[in-house]
Every structure is written in C-alpha cells, then in structure tokens.
Amino acid sequence: MRTARKFLKAAGVLGASAALMLTTACQSGSLTGANNASAGVTVIKLLSTNDTTNTAIAKALADGFNASQSKYKVNIVSRPGGTEGDNLVKTRLSTGSMEDVFQYNSGSLMNNLNPTKNLIPLGDEGYAKDFTAPFKTAVTATGDSKLYGAPWGAGNGGGIMYNKKVYQQLGLSVPETWDQFMANSKKIKDAGKVAVLQTYGTTWTSQLFMLGDFANINAKDPNWAKNWTENKINYETMPGLAGFQKTEDVFKAGLINSDAPSLTIDNGLKMLANGDAVQYPILSGNITTVQQNSPDKVNDLGFFPIPSSLGGKSVLTTWVPNALYIPQTTKGANLEAAKAFITYTESGDGCKAQLGAFSPNGPFGMNTCKPSGNLPQVAQDVFSYSNSGNFGPALEFISPLKGPNLESIIILVGTGQKSAKDAAALYDEDSKKQAKQLNLPGW
C-alpha cells in the first residue's frame, strides 16, 4: 500500500524540501561532503527516508559498517517520504543520478521502478537464502522473476490498534467477526467515546479497512490476488468489496469522529492513547509515535486483525519490510562497496545494529533476525499472530497492481460521498490504468 509503504509503507513523514535534503549528506549524524574519500577508501552514498525510524536505522547501519572495516565508507543522504519521495526516487533513477544504494518500498511500488531496467539483482548473494517467503515475493520483479532487494528494518501489522484499558472498563473482548466488531463499537459509542477513529487529514491512513482486510479475502479465496492481477475479478463484487463495505458501515452507523476529514495521525494517536477514541484501523508501526508522545500510555494499547465479514477466522494482514536496492548506475569500486554494505546489513551484526536503533512492530524479512528487548504490547500482539501463522501479506506484496488514487477514493466512502460499490468501481478503473502502464496481460 502506498501508505503502508508511506509509513515504512509508513513511516514516511514529509519534511523539508527535497532539493535541500538531497544536497545534504550526514555521516554518524554529522554533516560531511558527499564524496570526501580518504586515500584508498571508497565512499558511497545511501539514500534513506527522513522519518525518525528510518533515520535511526540508517545511522546505526552506517556507523556499524564503517567501524567494521576500513576499505569502504557509507555517507547517508536523506529524502522525504510519501508521494514526494516516490517521485524523487523515480526521477533520480530515470536521470541516472541515484545514490549508490537506496532504501525504498518492496512490493508493487518496487515493481513500478522498472527493476529489470534500473536495479541490480541480488538473488545470488549469500544472504538471500535467509529471506522469508513473503519478502522474496515482495522483491521479485514481474519481468524476469529475479530478486532485487534485501530487507531493511521490519514490517508492520495492518489492523485495529485499540485501547485495552477502555475495552476492560466496558467488558469487551477482541472481536472475531465483523458483527462482533460492530457490536463492540456500538457499546463504545454509547459510552460517549469515539468508537472508530479515522484520520483522513493524513490521507494514507484512510486505506486500512480496505487494504488490511486482504488476508481475510485471501483466506476465503487463495486465488484472488492472481485473478485480480489477470483482470478476471474486480473489487465491485465480494469478497473484494468487503473492505470498502467496512468503511461505509462505520460511517453510516455514526461510529467515526466528526473531525475525521481533517484529523491527522499524530493527534489521532493521542486520542487513542488517552482513551477518548478506542479503535483505530492503522499500521502497528505507528506505536512508535505513542512511545514518543505518550510513553506512559504505550501498554494501554493492543492490536488485532481487521475482523472478517467473510466467515472463518480473522487473519492479520502484514506489510513486508522495506528493502535496500542498488541502481544499475552503481559500478566498479562503488558497486563492491554497496554490496559489502548490504551484506553487513543482512548479517548478525547488521541485525543487532538495527534492533539497537528501533523497536520492531512486525515481521522481519530475514529468518535470521528476530525481535528482542521490551516490546510494546502492540508489537507483542502482532508477533503473536505472525508466530502462530495466522497472518498473510498485503495484496501489494504479491501483486504488482495497485491503483495510485486509492487514498482519495476511499475517503469518498468514509465521508459519505460515495457508496462502497461506487467507490470500488472507481478503484477498478484506477487500477486498469495502472495495469496498462505495467503491460499486465489480460488488461
């Protein structure tokens, strides 16, 4: 998902102008020249998003790698997240000006970079054998079936972050079905609290009911993603319609906050932490914001999957981690250095460096890297579902097709301007344009 990916998806928060940031390189947190190589040392640049989590990961990995050997040196270059960052990455690849190695989304957004033309395959590197199955799928190009990325950070769960304290006060239990979720929501509303928090002021967050429902769809029909990619089914009919319908259900029942069109994610998370709002469809990684802004409330919050309306067990949808990529413009000693840096990143030392920089809130892309430390309850809940096997990747990590305007389309449903079915039809048309651009068969 573009947001989910916007967070990592999704933690991308727009910062200063791209022009300013791309002229700034930082090494170990301090500014340096872009390529001031000492004699015999090859200096390369790593492009990473400027949000708190990715900045911390980049610094930890650069510091660790630079201290581990004396042949190479990595300098960090920051970029904004979100749509601005997506466009910047595409521009730098198309103009041949991309840094030596860069961090970006996996899944459909990676395939939109035309990896067979712009990126160097990494599937033959020794560490690739330790990739998890979902991650392998997420960095496999549709053009040649080669692997083009290596894991960076950790993934996310896409579901409902909820206030456990209020749940306990109201005598509620985690819902297993959509009907149970709606019944819980009515009790929360009757108690004078926001039952279902929406933050359309941060547009990407609008997509979670729809995108976070995919593991439930996949459980109902394991061939849905394949048939969707081949234009054999659409979102206007069930089970694809289910996520759109959920967005409509909560609006029509008056369960969402009145300021949903303008409320932003940071303010929404404060409401959730304080118990003014009780259930929030969002990515689990956003618990890091609560850790920063409301540290005493962190363990009041928990996490559960989007409840299924399709029958059967509710399944947690997960977002696969971002990845590191090497552009084809990286050559010679710089290519050797970029590959050495990624090898370090995927090693045991690289795992330790990353775990020292952030608190993971979803599955890793390497079987050899596991969470450690005192994890918040939200993360513990996500790992509980993933460790039990009750999870599956979001659609964008197993299909290259994702319409670019889903955020604005789903907001039309969440604000009562379109029905679920009409919005699904709009999204089918939006996706058709994308499919033709990707030259997918069947479209």
Instruction: Average the pLDDT over 196-216 and give the result.
Output: 95
Does this model's pTM top 0.85? My answer is no
User: Whose CA is closest to 64, among 333, 342, 368, 362?
Assistant: 342
Tell me how far CA of residue 232 lies from CA of 413, 419, 423, 443, in angstroms.
25, 23, 19, 9
Residue 348 lies in a domain: yes
Of 211-220, 301-310, 398-407, the least confident? 398-407
CA angle, residues 64, 66, 67, in degrees to nearest 5: 65
Q: Does 34 have pLDDT greater than 60?
A: no
Q: What Å distances lie between residue 121 and 217, 267, 324, 409, CA to CA?
A: 32, 41, 11, 35
Q: Give the separation between CA 2 and CA 168, rounded to whole angstroms.
A: 34
Name the residue type at position 92: R
Q: How confident is the model at residue 389 (pLDDT cuts 50, 70, 90)?
A: confident
pLDDT, tens only, 363-376? 899 999 988 778 99
Average pLDDT, the chain: 90
Residues 65 and 194 in one domain: no
Average pLDDT value for residue range 334-363: 95
Tens of pLDDT, residue by residue over 148-198, are 999 999 999 999 999 999 999 999 999 999 999 999 999 999 999 999 999
Indicate whether 313 and 335 sit together in one domain: no
5: closest CA among 394, 269, 438, 423? 394
- Bigger pLDDT: 399 or 23? 399
Residue 440 lies in a domain: no
Percent of the chain with pLDDT over 90: 77
Last residue of a domain, one of 346, 371, 396: 371
Average pLDDT, integer, range 295-316 = 95
Mean pLDDT value of segment 36-49: 84
Q: How confident is the model at residue 59 (pLDDT cuts 50, 70, 90)?
A: very high
Residue 337 and residue 263 share a domain: no
83 and 177 assigned to the same domain = no
In a domain, 180, yes or no: yes
Distance, in Å, from the CA atom of 247 to the CA atom of 214, rounded to the nearest integer, reads 14
pLDDT tens string 390-433? 999 999 998 989 898 999 999 999 999 999 999 999 999 999 99
Burial class (CB within 10 angstroms; exposed 0-12, middle 13-18, buried 19+) of 415: middle
> What token pair was written down for 306?
């989007």
Measured in whole angstroms, the distance separating CA 365 from the mean position of its chain's CA atoms is 13
Q: What is the DSSP string of 119-158?
A: B---TTSGGGGGB-HHHHHHTB-TTT--B--EEESB-EEE
pLDDT score of 82:
74
Q: Is the pLDDT of residue 11 over 70?
A: no
Structural domain includes residue 408: no
**Which token pair is 125?**
């590197």
Q: Which domain holds residue 53?
A: 2-155+321-371
Domain shared by 150 and 273, yes or no: no
Q: Does residue 440 carry a pLDDT above 60?
A: yes
Q: What is the DSSP letter of 202?
A: S
Query: Same structural domain for residues 10 and 128?
Result: yes
Q: Report the number of distinct structural domains present in the chain.
A: 2
Tokens of 9: 């998806």
Calpha distance 175→65 (Å, rounded): 45
Residues 46 and 66 in one domain: yes
Residues forming beta bridges with residue 147, ordered by sequence position: 140
Tokens of 323: 């990845």
- Residue 108 φ then ψ, to 5°: -65, -35
Same-domain pairing of 109 and 164: no
Residue 429 lies inside a defined structural domain of this protein: no
Do residues 287 and 273 make contact, with C-beta atoms less than 8 angstroms apart? no
- Residue 39, pLDDT score: 66
CA 185, CA 67: separation in Å to the nearest integer?
52
pLDDT band at 12 (very low <50, low <70, confident <90, very high): very low
Q: Is residue 38 part of a domain?
A: yes
**Is pLDDT above 50 for 260?**
yes
Domain identity same for 310 and 329: no
Mark whether 12 and 54 lie in a shared domain. Answer: yes
What is the pLDDT averaged over residues 3-29? 39
Residues 409, 417 contacting (CB under 8 angstroms): no
Which CATH number goes with the domain that contains 43?
3.40.190.10
214 and 271 both lie in a single domain = yes
pLDDT at 23: 37
Asked if residue 110 belongs to a domain, the reply is yes
**Residue 38: per-residue pLDDT:** 56
169 and 31 both lie in a single domain = no
What's the rounded mean pLDDT across residues 122-135? 95
Residue 83's pLDDT band (boundaries 50, 70, 90)? Answer: confident
- C-alpha separations of 74 from 65, 77, 362, 380 in Å: 8, 10, 27, 33
Residue 8 lies in a domain: yes
Distance of alpha carbon 162 from alpha carbon 195, whole angstroms = 10
Q: Of the candidates 319, 335, 362, which is a domain's last residue?
A: 319
Query: What pLDDT sits at residue 374?
Result: 85
